[in-house]
């Protein structure tokens, strides 16, 4: 069997391409999976999950690309979310990435960095949704989401970030802020 020459940096590009294909495929099938399992798959925030996976396994640029393309792709292929909500989701996911990197530079704790970046981006999301509802660009039916699943996913993704990117012993201590 021949040895395959891997050019430095190409592994990350390959991982990015694979993750992007998986993300877009998952987004394409979310409506079908929701009907198949009689469970609203959007409650586990698959877009955010892929953003976090991209931060951990690829790079910041790829995470931003996914943040901007996944909601757009979902809008184009499934008509969901509605246009203005799609714009808010793109902005929220991009803000989540930006906040994570800014906060993690300052406090050096991946769990807390991810937790605060998700909370900050969600606050932004709900503020913009509120404004869009007030100016009649969205309706309440288009924006309702139960809080408990969001809380569970936020904690889960923050723990995933701690486990995946926590390199030193200090970071492994969950409550050592």
* Residue 101, pLDDT above cutoff 70: yes
Kindly state the average pLDDT of the residues 147-166. 91
> For position 43, what pLDDT does the model report?
86
Over residues 114-134, the pLDDT tens digits come to: 999 999 999 999 999 999 999
Q: What gap in Å lies between CA 45 and CA 62, rounded to an integer? A: 18
The helix (H) or strand (E) run that includes residue 61 is helix 60-78
> For position 140, what pLDDT does the model report?
78
pTM of the model: 0.84
* DSSP per-residue codes, 113-129: HHHHHHHHHHHHHHHHH
Average confidence score pLDDT of the chain: 86
* Residue 172, pLDDT above cutoff 80: no
The helix (H) or strand (E) run that includes residue 109 is none
Sign of CA pseudo-dihedral 26, 70, 15, 43: negative
* Residue 168, pLDDT above cutoff 60: no
The structural domains of the chain, with segments of one domain joined by +, span 10-172
> For position 108, what pLDDT does the model report?
85
Over residues 60-74, the pLDDT tens digits come to: 999 999 999 999 999
Number of residues in the chain: 177
Give 175's pLDDT tier (boundaries 50, 70, 90).
very low
Kindly state the average pLDDT of the residues 96-100. 98
Measured between alpha carbons, how far is residue 42 from residues 35, 39, 83, 120, 151 in Å?
12, 9, 17, 20, 14
């Amino acid at each position: 069997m021949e040895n395959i020459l891997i050019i430095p940096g190409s592994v990350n590009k390959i991982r990015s391409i694979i993750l992007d294909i998986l993300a877009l495929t998952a987004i394409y099938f979310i409506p079908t999976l929701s009907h198949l399992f009689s469970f609203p798959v959007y409650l586990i925030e698959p877009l955010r999950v892929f953003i976090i996976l991209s931060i951990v396994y690829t790079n910041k640029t790829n995470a931003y690309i996914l943040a901007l393309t996944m909601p757009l792709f979902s809008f184009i292929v499934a008509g969901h979310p509605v246009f203005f909500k799609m714009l808010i989701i793109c902005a929220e996911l991009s803000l989540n990435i930006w906040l994570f990197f800014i906060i993690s530079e300052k406090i050096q704790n991946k769990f807390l960095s991810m937790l605060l970046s998700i909370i900050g981006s969600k606050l932004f999301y709900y503020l913009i949704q509120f404004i869009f509802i007030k100016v009649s660009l969205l309706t309440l039916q288009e924006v309702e989401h139960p809080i408990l699943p969001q809380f569970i996913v936020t904690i889960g993704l923050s723990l995933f970030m701690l486990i995946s990117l926590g390199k030193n012993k200090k970071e492994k201590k969950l409550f050592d802020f």
